Structure 1
């Protein structure tokens, strides 16, 4: 059987479904009620859409208590959504500025399970400049020096390579239009920064909070010239005020 591109495209192409899929780019599992709010539709309509997305293999669902929780089925789906966000923005000729209006999202956000936004791109550039990472065609790989560097940080590269996903993968950033690092190594870097409390995930969005102390430690660890956030994430986050100020 040949791959049915039209079927997959139709699943993503519906506006309500695309909103729900984008909401799940945070990597968190969301309930049908939460996704109905994201899609701006009724609970009954959301249930129908979610069933189609599960049947189409784009979402996975599990029950816990009275609730059904939904997640993107795998990182490949997240990669397609991120690339479609990028593609749709480049085709919107009326918009000069690329990516989200929210400066917090532009600065640092989660792309399913790895770091994206300005800080993610700067990390990718720094690893390249230090010759720890190199581009091969449209993809990326660790150099010998890169393998030694990450092994020295305690990364079990053999274990990461045994997973189904690539160790390193270049992912075109929605807002920056340059590469950030995906793959199992990209996931490890984000998980490590979160465990060290350098970063913090916002519960209500894809935003990654970066405080000045954490930014300095992250910059020192990965050789960034400067990673201090342009926005102070210790102040109260008010996305509505940010939109109104534009």
Structure 2
């Protein structure tokens, strides 16, 4: 393609195995140092720094300084959505690097996708919100007045979210379910509320999200799976 966006450059940045591992590690939503990312990518710190410089130049990651330490994070929700979409395509085409196991099952059940919930339970939540009329998909994706009431009941401050820069609601293609889950600032705020309410906890060093027994009960009450078939 001679004119238009240079997708080849973005593809080449993501396509390197070490850089792909670095970006995947940052999908956990936590900023990491070059040394930590070197361990994730299986390369030396010097090589990781070289990869990070290329990713930063390409607009895929951004540096963050805290005191003497320098951390890296994904540049935006848009980058995270691209990576999740590519993961879904790879999974759908059978391009996997390891055999499935218990950890894979946990990731498919519930995980963090950059800053919001993903996996089977996230798809359940999205389907429930659509079935309840809280989300309208007829013209893109919008939060309805009923949805505003649902969010208020969960303690989500919509006024603050709407004043922010990111889109309020966004569909994100779930790589494991190959169906939509909720992204955008609302998806981030909901996941934050689940953490605040003690419904979930993040597994250290992983993207896996664990629901407590009471948390899962309350989640299922708020977003019933039975509505999926309605």
Task: Calculate the TM-score normalised by the size of structure 2.
Answer: 0.89
Query: Structure 2: where are the runs of 5+ without partners?
Result: none
Distance across 1 between alignment mates of 2:161 and 2:37: 32
> Which secondary structure state, in structure 2, belongs to the residue aligned with residue 197 of structure 1?
coil
Query: Structure 1: where are the runs of 5+ without partners?
Result: 227-246
1:10 maps to what in 2? 12
> Which secondary structure state, in structure 2, belongs to the residue aligned with residue 203 of structure 1?
coil
2:34 maps to what in 1? 32
Over the aligned positions, Cα root-mean-square deviation in angstroms equals: 2.4
Distance across 1 between alignment mates of 2:223 and 2:33: 40
Q: How many pairs are equivalent? A: 223
Distance across 2 between alignment mates of 1:153 and 1:211: 17
Asked if residue 142 in structure 1 is aligned to residue 143 in structure 2, the reply is yes
Residues 124 and 223, structure 2, Cα contact 8 Å, conserved in 1: no
* Correspondence for 1:68 among 48, 56, 70: 70
Distance across 1 between alignment mates of 2:207 and 2:28: 5
User: Structure 1's 179 and 65: CA in aligned 2 closer, same or farther, altered over 3 A?
Assistant: same
User: How far has the Cα of 1:93 moved from its partner?
Assistant: 6.9
User: How far has the Cα of 1:43 moved from its partner?
Assistant: 1.1
Task: Calculate the TM-score normalised by the size of structure 1.
Answer: 0.83
Residues 82-104 of structure 1 show CA distances to partners (whole Å, capped at 9, x for unaligned) of: 00101122222799x99x96111
User: How far has the Cα of 1:134 moved from its partner?
Assistant: 2.2
Distance across 2 between alignment mates of 1:88 and 1:82: 10
> Which secondary structure state, in structure 1, belongs to the residue aligned with residue 166 of structure 2?
coil
User: Structure 1's 93 and 188: CA in aligned 2 closer, same or farther, altered over 3 A?
Assistant: closer
